[in-house]
Amino acid sequence: ENGVSASESDGISSVIPGWFSEISQMWPGEAHSLKVEKILFQGKSDYQNVMVFQSSTYGKVLVLDGVIQLTERDECAYQEMITHLPLCSIPNPKKVLVIGGGDGGVLREVARHSSVEKIDICEIDKMVVDVSKEFFPRVAIGFEDPRVTLHVGDGVAFLKAVPEGTYDAVIVDSSDPIGPAQELFEKPFFASVAKALRPGGVVCTQAESIWLHMKIIEDIVTNCRQVFKGSVNYAWTTVPTYPSGVIGFMLCSTEGPPVDFKHPVNPVEVNGIDTPNNSLKFYNSEIHSAAFCLPSFAKKIIDSK
């Protein structure tokens, strides 16, 4: 017995009793904590530890391998940005692929676009899908759209088998590059994304924090500049429960009709996806353009790649 209980490996703190602390080698020396009202689910899938708890201030929280994936309170910021940044940057997106995203939140956002005819999702871990359907119905509602087809499997293998030029947009809603998502941050993966996209198609990938992961971001930017011959951009937003409170996205397009990510050509204010009875909570066209403005320290490094 090494004294580490199943709970502790999920981040339930023995230091501050009754709190979850997000401890990881990816952000050494700091740990954001949330007060736990109740642990609702703890399980171990073939790929990772899965936990759901009721927090006292952010609603229910989904945790994979001790790392927060979403909370009911701030998931809108992440899901709306990772989806509408790419889909509002091209006219009439029709075929969309989501890699990861097993909670269904990105699907919910893609489904707002009436031009979209087909939505494929490839998530490696069926337990994430099942747990989301049970505990996060307002997120997992994305799976109910009839245009959605779920493929349970590795996104890397799935993309390799996709015929060239299939998708208008690919959204990579992955966890961090430790564990099953590691390859989703590597150059061969980006190359298969580029191949799966039509000319002038777009990709948006989860691209970590400018405060914590500049080295990872530098590598992603370098790889993407080699692979994507259209445009390559970094954008970011605020998500309070992600480490350092911010998260970034890599937005790239393939050679073809040019894509100017900074100026949405398919704005939500016009395309009718932001309706009074189903309104967006976070995304709008101003925040879209603003997301590409970088602090000087990050701009210097990203522009130099």
**Site residues for ligand SAM per CB under 6 A:** 64, 69-70, 75, 78-79, 99-103, 105, 122-125, 128, 154-156, 173-175, 180-181, 184
How near is the Cβ of 128 to ligand SAM at its closest, in Å? 4
105 or 248, CB closer to ligand SAM? 105
Closest CB 257 distance from ligand SAM, rounded Å? 29
Element (DSSP H or E) covering residue 48 = none
Instruction: Compute CA 111 distance to the chain's CA centroid, rounded to the nearest angstrom.
Output: 16
> Can you tell me the distance from the alpha carbon of 150 to that of 250, in angstroms, rounded to the nearest whole number?
24
Nearer to ligand SAM, 78 or 249 (CB): 78
Distance CA 259, CA 86 (A): 10
Q: Cα 297–71–34 angle (5° rounding)?
A: 80
CB of 27 to ligand SAM, least distance (A): 16
Judged by beta carbon, residue 105 or residue 230, the one nearer ligand SAM is: 105
Residue 173 annotated as catalytic: yes
Residue 58 in contact with residue 76, Cβ under 8 Å? no
Residues pairing with 118 in the sheet: 95
The closest residue (CB) to ligand SAM is 100
Minimum distance from residue 216 beta carbon to ligand SAM (Å): 15
Kindly tell me which of 189 and 234 has the beta carbon lying closer to ligand SAM: 189
As measured in angstroms, the least distance from the Cβ of 106 to ligand SAM is 6
Q: SS3 string of 83-151?
A: HHHHHCCCCCCCEEEEEECCCCHHHHHHCCCCCCCEEEEEECCHHHHHHHHHHCHHHHHHHHCCCEEEE
Q: What are phi and psi of 36, to 5 degrees?
A: -95, 125
Annotated catalytic residue, options 103, 173, 176, 274: 173
Catalytic residue positions? 173
